[in-house]
């Protein structure tokens, strides 16, 4: 107990030290949250918080090396390309600072991107402070992700790569983490499409989240780096390809992804279709969705978020 308290105290001092060296370059209260942009040395970071200060890092960019993806979870999300290596249509729910659309534009300049963000202030901040410059192939939709998905189903739209990154460590839109919603996403997949989600790995929610993705998709894979509080879940409506296929695709993708610091070869070997979780955990549904209660608040500091 004493050792644990000492570690927490040291971590608190480290976080305080970081805050002391951060310079706020923008601050506003949107309809949904407090938004701050801070410069921390060579990095510029976007924070969302229900309180005035503190909260999760949503995006950090390296101003001296804009191609470098700062957060490990962002790099891990590109593991989805092992399952959809040449996407022509991409859907992203949760814009943050616009890092992923910028990289995907560089990789696939001809691909169409639909970017869904509920908060217009986030779109403005991404453009003003994070060098997010939408191209002619990007369509920004300022609306709730679930509403967008339901309308897309009605019009029978399909995407090859669907990226879900709409949660923070302070708040989870619970209607975006249920079996029904994930099945709706599955209904938007093209024949070779894939859903890639940034999820949590440091609370009771881990078990329920695992069970929910298992209930919604015939095939699910998990990817997590040691020491990270984030993990990536990948859902498919088809069988898992063999390891040889993943390794072949990784070799093909590696040269283009190297400039962004993405270890696609390592991800090909680290993806797991079987992992440990409580198999008795209840599936989250539209009628049972206590995701925020299950996630709680981490005592170990902010979770990396895009």
Indicate which residues carry an active-site annotation. 165
Number of residues assigned to the chain: 306
Strand ranges (E), the chain: 22-29, 34-40, 43-49, 56-62, 89-93, 112-116, 138-141, 159-164, 189-200, 219-223, 230-236
User: CA neighbours within 13 Å on the CB side: how many for 259?
Assistant: 9
Rounded CA gap, 272 and 223, in Å?
7
Q: Which of 185, 134, 140 is nearest to 163 (CA)?
A: 185
**End-to-end Cα, the chain, rounded Å:** 34
Annotate 258-294 with DSSP letters as a single string.
GGGT--HHHHHHH-BSS----TTPPPP-SS---HHHH
The span from the CA of 164 to the CA of 92, in Å, is: 6
Farthest-apart Cα atoms in the chain, separation = 59
CB 265 within 8 A of CB 18: no
The count of C-alpha atoms lying within 13 angstroms of the C-alpha of 101, restricted to the half-sphere facing its C-beta, is 32
DSSP code string of 82-94 = GTSSS-SEEEEE-
């Amino acid at each position: 107990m004493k050792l644990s308290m000492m570690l927490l105290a040291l971590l608190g001092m480290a976080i305080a030290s970081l805050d002391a060296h951060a310079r706020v370059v923008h601050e506003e209260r949107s309809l949904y949250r407090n938004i701050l942009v801070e410069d921390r040395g060579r990095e510029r970071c976007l924070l969302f918080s229900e309180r005035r200060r503190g909260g999760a890092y949503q995006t950090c960019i390296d101003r001296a090396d804009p191609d470098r993806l700062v957060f490990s979870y962002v790099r891990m999300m590109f593991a989805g390309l092992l399952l959809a290596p040449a996407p022509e249509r991409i859907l992203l729910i949760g814009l943050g600072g616009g890092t992923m659309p910028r990289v995907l534009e560089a990789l696939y300049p001809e691909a169409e991107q639909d970017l869904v963000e509920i908060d217009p202030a986030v779109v403005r901040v991404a453009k003003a402070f994070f060098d997010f410059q939408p191209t002619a192939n990007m369509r920004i939709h300022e609306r709730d992700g679930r509403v967008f998905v339901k309308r897309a189903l009605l019009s029978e739209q399909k995407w090859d790569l669907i990226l879900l990154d709409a949660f923070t460590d302070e708040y989870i839109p619970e209607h975006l983490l249920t079996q029904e919603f994930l099945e709706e996403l599955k209904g938007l997949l093209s024949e070779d499409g894939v859903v890639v989600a940034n999820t949590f790995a440091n609370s009771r929610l881990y078990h329920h989240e695992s069970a929910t993705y298992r209930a919604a998709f015939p095939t699910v894979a998990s990817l997590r780096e040691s020491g990270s509080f984030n993990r990536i879940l990948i859902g498919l409506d088809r069988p898992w390809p063999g390891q040889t296929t993943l390794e072949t695709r990784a070799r093909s993708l590696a040269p283009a992804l190297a400039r962004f610091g993405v270890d696609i070869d390592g991800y090909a070997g680290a993806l797991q279709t079987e992992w440990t979780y409580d198999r008795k955990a209840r599936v989250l549904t539209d009628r049972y969705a206590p995701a925020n209660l299950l996630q709680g608040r981490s005592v170990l500091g902010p979770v990396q978020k895009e």
